[in-house]
Chain A
Amino acid sequence: MADCIRRAAQGEQAACGQLYQRFHGAVRRVAQGSGTLEAAEVEDVVQETFVRAFRELPRLQHPRAFSGWLLTIARHHAYALSRNVKARARAAEDLAREADMSVPALPPSLTLERRVAVVRALIEGLPEGPEKDTARLFYLEGELSAREIAERLGLGKSAVTMRLERFRARVKRELLARLLAAEVG
């Protein structure tokens, strides 16, 4: 993957294509987490994310930061299309910043495999109810968009988006705790 990222940074289209095919699903899921985005807008986020990423890829210093960096760009673009004024303002500010990002040295407790296990365990640990259903449908089954989940569960789109954001914050809290614990040693 690191070699593919380096070749893409040099403009090799085949390598860009490989990266697109590997990551378009992840980028789309980030955009689909916003219940305010129509399906066409989700595709716009995917487009804009990859176009921007390929343009700025030569500035990415660490290939191992690629996926996180790409998803961060996707989240910013999704915010930019959001109806929420605060979110749009934040996205404009974030997108104006340098594209590179810091790459924290990851402790063993934060490998991707361990982080995925954290997500699954947190979903399992939720009490039965609409909050758990929403997180399970979106993050574990991974097929429906936030809008589609809202329709299936008979909820408002904003309610689903809010639940997904709340669950995401729970994951952030758990991962931040692990980052800090690794520093304490």
Chain B
Amino acid sequence: MSTSDRHLDVESSKQLERREPEAVRYFAEHLSRPCEVCEAFLAREDASPGEFPGLDALTDEALVEASGRPVREDAVGWARVRRNQGAPRRAWLTGGLGAMAAAVVLALLVRPGAGGPGDVEPSSQRIKGTAPLALEVTAVARLPDGTVRAVAEDAVVPPEAVVLLRYHASESADALLVREAPGVPPQVLGRHVLTPGTHDLRDGEDLAGVSLEDERGPVTLVLVAWPQGVQGDAALEAVRVSGQVPPDAAQARLRLKVAPGHAAP
């Protein structure tokens, strides 16, 4: 075989892996022009792992960036990823105190009011205190097909849905989002900072979506908030250490029922 007939194959790829100067020189020149034989070798599905290390990554990076299309926000997908990561989001609660604090917080949260059908319940309840923080929540459900539907209290929603909350707060507040379901410990889903007015509940720059994947039956989302102020840091520390929410905390609840087969809330 003459030198000019040489194409990429298992042997030459090993020579290149060993950085043999003659092979490097030859293929640097040979591959600078289209070659169907070499391209077929590069496209084959049974390539050995580690062949031409990094080349696939360099290629895919370039290919996916070629369109230059802006990326839309994907709250549904992110909520599913976060859920599939497993642990409830308690990054702000450290060490072994986390679980204890979450349990105690929820002992305070689970208050009368989750009544039966027909009970009328205000969307915002103050636990106690004299300086009320007005707090309300509404929600929409986003489905994998991209449709968005409003979610009413006691709505039936499919497990594929991701619930996005919108709140109204009368003043700046620190807040916890908690999930309650029968037979399982309450779960702190995240900590949020509320700003006065009506806003989407966000987690940093992202919408704070709650995935219902693997859920069945009743689920209640509870937003618990207390005013920010000079005691803000102390209040958070008290929650972290002892699970005690401030006495002027308010809560807003949204009861849902998760059932498969419902295409829309």
Residues of A within 8 A of B (CB): 11-14, 16-18, 20-22, 24-26, 29-30, 40, 43, 46-47, 50-51, 54-55, 65, 67-69, 71-72, 74-75, 79, 84, 86-87, 89-90, 93-94, 97, 101-104, 106, 110, 112, 115-116, 118-120, 123, 139-143, 165-166, 168-177, 179-181, 183-184
Contacts and interface: CB of A to CB of B under 8 A. Distances in A.
B131 interface: no
A145 B32 CA distance: 30
Contact of A25 (B24, B45, B71, B91): B71
B42 A173 contact: yes
Given A71-B64, A103-B54, A50 B81 contact: yes
27 contacts: A13-B82, A13-B89, A14-B204, A14-B205, A24-B77, A25-B64, A26-B65, A51-B85, A71-B56, A89-B46, A90-B49, A97-B49, A101-B54, A104-B53, A112-B65, A115-B65, A139-B66, A139-B67, A141-B67, A142-B67, A142-B68, A143-B69, A166-B43, A172-B39, A173-B31, A173-B34, A179-B55
Contacts of A12: 91
A55 to B, nearest CB: 8
Contacts, number: 201
B60 A72 contact: yes
A86 B44 CA distance: 10
B54 A47 contact: no
Contacts of A171: 59, 62-63
Looking at chain A's contact residues, the main secondary structure is helix
A174 B44 CA distance: 16
Given A72-B56, A143-B69, A168-B43, A24 B62 contact: no
Q: What 5 A-B pairs come out closest when comparing CB atoms?
A: A68-B57, A142-B67, A115-B62, A169-B43, A180-B28
Contacts of A84: 45
Interface residues of B, number: 59
B91 A43 contact: no
Given A47-B81, A51-B84, 9 more contacts: A26-B64, A65-B57, A71-B61, A79-B45, A93-B49, A94-B49, A103-B54, A115-B58, A175-B55
Contact of A173 (B16, B24, B38, B61): B38
A51 B32 contact: no
B233 interface: no
Nearest to B91: A13
B153 interface: no
Nearest to A69: B57
A24 B39 contact: no
Interface string B29-40: 111101100111
Interface string B16-32: 10010000110111111
B47 A168 contact: no
